[in-house]
Structure 1
Amino acid sequence: GITIILGLGEGIEDLPALFELIRKLSLDRITFYSLNPQDGTSYEDQPPPSSIYQSGVIALTRLNFPEIEIIGGTWIDQLPNIGLMLLAGANGITKYPLFSMFGNRYGKKVEEEVKFANRKLLGTFSDLDVLRGIKKLGKERMPNYVCKKKKPKITDEAAEKISEMKKEIDAAVEEYVSTAERRLR
């Protein structure tokens, strides 16, 4: 697959060239981000493209490539774009700092956008009981079940290293869960 950043000077008139590239490379996945201007770059004063532009590019790509996997990327300050991208034909979303938004208004906004786009969210951005391991997600929300992915194969050497690191891993998980719980109080 490839990743495309929209808002670097291209326009709708450039889409035929992109579609030709997709065909030529036989791509099966494409991720579309919108420019997130950064200070100190030549784009620092450039506004990000409108949400309708990104969604329009996704929609035209979906119409031309019904089988391709399309991922829509946005930033935490652009969460309302999620619903538009999903309605336009994106299969999924990306680029969220899950660890800093779990359970707070940002995590809940992601879930709301997915719900109002009439899509199912695999996983959770807000259920602390799932995070704590007290409760399990239903099969319809478990990525490995829904996507029918095979379990990863772990070498004996890797399994041994994981076992040796169990205390550190457990401590890191507990610290993360505690941090998420504190933020929700």
Structure 2
Amino acid sequence: MSRAAPYSHAISLAAAGILAVALSPAGALADGGVVRAMRSSGDYQISVFTSPNPLVAGPVDLSVLVQDAATLATVAEVDVEVAVTPRERPYAAARLPATREAATNKLFLAVWIDLEPGWHDVEVRCHRSERSGSVRFAMQVGAPRSDTSSLWPWYTWPVVPVALFAMHRVLARSPRRRL
């Protein structure tokens, strides 16, 4: 076996590890976020999504997908109102219309709202002419993340060249087999 073979194998393993961490799906953002509620109410199937995950204090995207309960076809012309009430401060309730303009995915209606830490009761009301439906659920919002939590790649990048150099030194010292 040549000296280059184990070295290239180690490099391949290191590269695979780096790619696995860098391309992990935990950092992927998708339209809608996490499903918080999905229920049939009246003539509608109402699905409510929130983002970010986990929910932390600050701006929260609350997206709503409204479907016909019988056919599950997306209902385009519907008015959606979102009411969010902090349990500790019920007098600070917010009632906002969800719009397609605020949504990334135009099948959804969305509203951006600043939330404080704690439990919040949410009610989503959908209505169109004579048809209506609503969904209620509770969600917990955590404390805000520190600004440095998103900087971990900048603090940890030196680990990669140091690890590669250490692997090179170990492989360079290993006894050579002669053929």
- The structure in which a higher percent of residues are helix is 1
Q: TM-score, normalised by structure 1?
A: 0.23
- The structure in which a higher percent of residues are strand is 2
Higher relative contact order (CA closer than 8 Å, sequence separation 6+): 2
Q: Which protein shows a greater Rg? A: 2
Q: TM-score, normalised by structure 2?
A: 0.23
